Structure 1
């Protein structure tokens, strides 16, 4: 059966019935449209690819429960929201780092510590980069976006327990990665 001739509604029905070919057709039909929208807004091909992949992954994972009426409109809205969330998280993170560097430099003046706040913020960035994508997203929304567990669960369409798990995992990883910095600080 040539899925290219099917309507979006029929493809969504097949998707709900676990038809991987229907999912591939939806991806083939729409990935470039939403990738271009993200790339145009962000100017970063890698970030745009990551956001598009996350949207399609979420559709596949939630294929049994997701209720999409107009597929193209759903995807356009999903990528727009993903871009906005990414930009907000990035801006909050940059403001936080600027605050740490600014207040940290005033606090650390005169100390003999070889560790600067700039180095610490770089180490934090490296540690965050080690986290799996979903855990990293949850951590950024929690710590830099100052969202509650419930708000994160709602925005990412996952359970509150999953949010708690991701936060716990990220803090464990950060503690291990930043252990030497914590030892120096103490």
Structure 2
């Protein structure tokens, strides 16, 4: 790959050339980093078609903003962009991963000391937030986000209407929205 672009071994030179509208430099950036970005996005979405689209969008944004972006560390920029773009995609698509799945990913990742500490801190903070909900909200919230059940499944299991489940979830999420967002970002940072 680098043999095709002998003048672009350094990312800062590559970015400087892209700012000059150099399409060969952009092709080099794309060839060098597309696979890495796709792998990260694909792992998070679990959907190769969406991952491919998201990855393309990330590179298109770099090209479109080539004259305005100030990128110091290209690899870090791409990983952050991948994380943020996937988070936006998940929100837009209404896709949420059950907390158990996130924790399983945490266990599969490096068992470095900081990952273990962060996992424990996350669990403590998550449980503290959920415990502030009413008992019925806790049950519904845990069934939806810890166990990954749909609102229809929860309604059937609890013998209540789906609308009641949706209302309880809406109240729970509204009550915890800011804190849950912070926890989600923490988990996403840990497992990325």
The normalised TM-score by structure 2 is 0.47
Structure with bigger RCO (C-alpha 8 Å, 6+ apart):
2
The normalised TM-score by structure 1 is 0.48
